[in-house]
Amino acid sequence: MGCHESRKTSDNFGQQTGKNSQKVQFEVYAALKQNNFAKVKDLIPKKLGVNYKMPYFMGKTALHIAAEFGDRKMIALLLSCGADENSLDISGCPPVYAAMRNGNLEAVNAILEIGSKVDTDIVTNHNLQFHDFITQNKYKESLAILKKYKYNKLKY
pLDDT digits (tens, 9 = 90+) for 3-39: 443 334 443 334 445 545 888 999 999 999 999 999 9
* pLDDT of amino acid 14: 43
For residue 49, pLDDT beyond 80: yes
Give the model's pLDDT for residue 153: 60
- Per-residue confidence (pLDDT) for residue 19, from 0 to 100: 40
Q: What percent of the chain has pLDDT over 90?
A: 54
Q: CB within 8 A of 19, min separation 6: which ones?
A: none
Instruction: Determine the pLDDT at residue 152.
Output: 59
91-135 pLDDT, tens digit each: 999 999 999 988 899 999 999 999 889 998 899 999 998 888 887
Q: How many whole angstroms separate alpha carbon 119 and alpha carbon 77?
A: 20
Helix H or strand E segment including 75: helix 72-80
Contact residues for 64 (Cβ-Cβ < 8 A; gap 6+): 57, 87, 89, 93, 95, 98
